[in-house]
């Protein structure tokens, strides 16, 4: 086990009615709240009015900022930065899931920086200040409510970059599983696969192997396997939704441990940027393809994964166990209504070479590496498997 320093600075308030504490949680941060959200779902459900009323009852002025979309855009974040400065905002309140929270993190940094917001994401400039952030979580997936990572997509470059910035840790997260009841089935499935991926890519890390870490990662993956079908079959199953919501936070807030082999995540940013696929959908396709690729070079590891996570029957050869695990993975995605290949997703004519060139500009460097680095030709072969 490696040495580490761990901090979980976000205050998580979990359970039915948690959003009713929004006024008391926001009040200490000043009088001007900017409420950021995505679709009109929160307005139609009455949540927007409920939150606004509670904030105003606690003496705060509320500035709404909606229309944040999946795979959040730089232009929208820059619009939010301008509004935050104009209204002298003292706290940003993200009401939504990962995309809304990520955009809120971008606004928190950009509102306190005079230059181009994109400079912060490319690493050209290091952020010095940020507006404080609170969260009302309505979708369980990215754990953005409890980590300091955000992802932003450049409108013109179609480039997606992730930024890890401790200044953007949310101060609090109000987590009511009932707020996820109205998520469409496809979004519920894709978000749950995103949860799975955060444990999957931590599990495959040769420098961090250990009993506790492996078992905890496997527990997260098995929880998704068990609870997603329940949530899809009965969207208002509180326990299933609660299990998924907290599992999402556990999966990507470093409770499972640090680092991972995030080759699939890196490639998913390419697919979401080029095709507009949801992050979870892209990850499902890529994780299956990654397992198929690794089966040829790391069969023992894939067989262990199949046994621990997919309950592959004992007594099989490594290859058969691994193949059966991959088949179970594919069947799980299909049963959840998700595509297993790019062809199934409608992108069968994609050029794997073009995608690989985007992933590794100049055809140099590698993706991942904590399990096994993928050079350019490896990425082409993996994408060919993902194409189907």
Condensed to tens digits (0 to 9), the pLDDT of residues 308-364 reads: 999 877 667 889 999 999 999 999 999 999 999 999 999 999 999 999 999 999 999
Model's pTM, two decimal places? 0.94
The torsion angle over the Cα atoms of residues 10, 14, 17 and 18, rounded to 10 degrees, is -10
Q: Can you tell me the distance from the alpha carbon of 170 to that of 366, in angstroms, rounded to the nearest whole number?
A: 32
If one counts every other C-beta atom within 10 angstroms of the C-beta of residue 180, the result is: 26
Q: Which pLDDT does position 288 carry in this prediction?
A: 98
Q: Provide the strand spans (E) within the chain.
A: 11-14, 32-37, 61-65, 91-96, 133-137, 149-153, 160-164, 172-175
DSSP labels for 325-372?
A: HHHHHHHHHHHTT--SSTTTTT-TT--HHHHHHHHSGGG-S-B--SS-
Q: Can you tell me the distance from the alpha carbon of 263 to that of 290, in angstroms, rounded to the nearest whole number?
A: 9
Pairing state of beta strands 32-37 and 61-65?
parallel
Q: Can you tell me the distance from the alpha carbon of 248 to that of 144, in angstroms, rounded to the nearest whole number?
A: 9
Helices 238-251 & 185-203, crossing angle to 10 degrees?
40
Q: What is the mean pLDDT of residues 90-103?
A: 97
For residue 165 the two structure tokens come to: 């910035």
DSSP labels for 269-296?
A: HHHHHHH---HHHHHHHHHHHHHHHHHT
Q: What is the mean pLDDT of residues 264-283?
A: 94
Q: What is the pLDDT of residues 23-56, one digit of tens each?
A: 999 999 999 999 999 988 888 899 999 999 999 9
Q: Which pLDDT does position 315 carry in this prediction?
A: 66
Q: Tell me the backbone φ, ψ of residue 77, rounded to 5 degrees.
A: -65, -40
Which of 122, 123, 120, 134 has its CA nearest to residue 19? 134
Q: Tell me the backbone φ, ψ of residue 64, rounded to 5 degrees.
A: -80, 150
Q: Which pLDDT does position 132 carry in this prediction?
A: 98
Is there a contact between 93 and 35 (Cβ–Cβ < 8 Å)? yes
Instruction: Supply the DSSP symbol for 180.
Output: G
Q: Which pLDDT does position 7 carry in this prediction?
A: 86
Q: Which pLDDT does position 258 carry in this prediction?
A: 86
Q: Which pLDDT does position 40 carry in this prediction?
A: 85
**Mean pLDDT across the chain, nearest whole number?**
95
Q: What is the mean pLDDT of residues 9-16?
A: 97
Distances (CA, A) of 258 to 3, 146, 208, 294: 10, 14, 8, 22
Is there a contact between 267 and 357 (Cβ–Cβ < 8 Å)? no
For residue 129 the two structure tokens come to: 């200040």
Q: Can you tell me the distance from the alpha carbon of 119 to that of 115, in angstroms, rounded to the nearest whole number?
A: 8
Q: What is the pLDDT of residues 359-385, one digit of tens each?
A: 999 999 999 999 999 999 999 999 999
State the pLDDT confidence band at 4, using cuts at 50, 70 and 90. Answer: confident
Q: Whose structure tokens read 């944040």?
A: 68
For residue 337 the two structure tokens come to: 């209504």
Residue 195's Cα: distance from chain center in Å?
7
């Amino acid at each position: 086990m490696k040495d580490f320093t761990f901090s979980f600075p976000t205050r998580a308030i979990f359970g039915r009615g948690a959003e009713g504490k929004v006024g008391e949680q926001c009040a200490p941060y000043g009088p001007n709240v900017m409420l950021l959200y995505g679709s009109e779902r929160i307005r139609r459900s009455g949540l927007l009015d409920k939150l606004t009323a509670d904030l105003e009852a606690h003496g705060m002025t509320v500035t709404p900022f909606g229309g944040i979309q999946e795979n959040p855009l730089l232009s929208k974040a820059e619009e939010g930065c301008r509004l935050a400065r104009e209204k002298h905002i003292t706290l940003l309140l993200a009401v939504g899931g990962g995309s809304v929270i990520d955009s809120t993190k971008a606004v928190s940094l950009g509102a306190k920086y005079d230059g181009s917001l994109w400079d912060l994401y490319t690493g050209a400039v290091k952020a010095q200040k940020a507006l404080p952030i609170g969260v009302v979580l309505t979708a369980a997936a990215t754990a953005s409510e409890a980590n300091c990572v955000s992802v932003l997509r450049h409108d013109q470059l179609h480039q997606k970059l992730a930024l890890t910035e401790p200044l953007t840790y949310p101060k609090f997260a109000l987590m009511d599983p009932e707020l996820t009841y109205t998520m469409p089935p496809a979004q519920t499935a894709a978000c749950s696969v995103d949860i799975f991926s955060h444990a999957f890519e931590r599990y495959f890390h040769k420098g961090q192997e250990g009993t506790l870490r492996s078992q905890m990662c496997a527990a997260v993956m098995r929880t998704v396997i068990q609870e997603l079908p329940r949530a899809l079959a009965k969207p208002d199953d509180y326990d299933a939704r609660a299990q998924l919501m907290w599992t999402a936070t556990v999966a990507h807030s470093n409770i499972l441990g640090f680092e991972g082999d995030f080759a699939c995540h890196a490639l998913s940013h390419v697919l979401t940027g080029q095709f507009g696929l949801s992050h979870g959908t892209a990850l499902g396709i890529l994780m299956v393809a990654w397992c198929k690729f690794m089966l040829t070079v790391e069969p023992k590891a894939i067989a262990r994964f199949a046994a621990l996570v997919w309950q592959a029957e004992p007594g099989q050869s490594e290859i058969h166990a691994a193949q059966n695990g991959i088949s179970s993975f594919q069947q799980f995605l299909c049963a959840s209504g998700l595509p297993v290949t790019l062809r199934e997703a409608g992108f069968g004519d994609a050029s794997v070479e073009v995608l690989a060139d985007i992933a590794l500009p100049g055809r140099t460097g590698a993706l991942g590496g904590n399990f096994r680095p993928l050079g350019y030709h490896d990425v082409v072969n993996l994408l060919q498997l993902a194409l189907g």
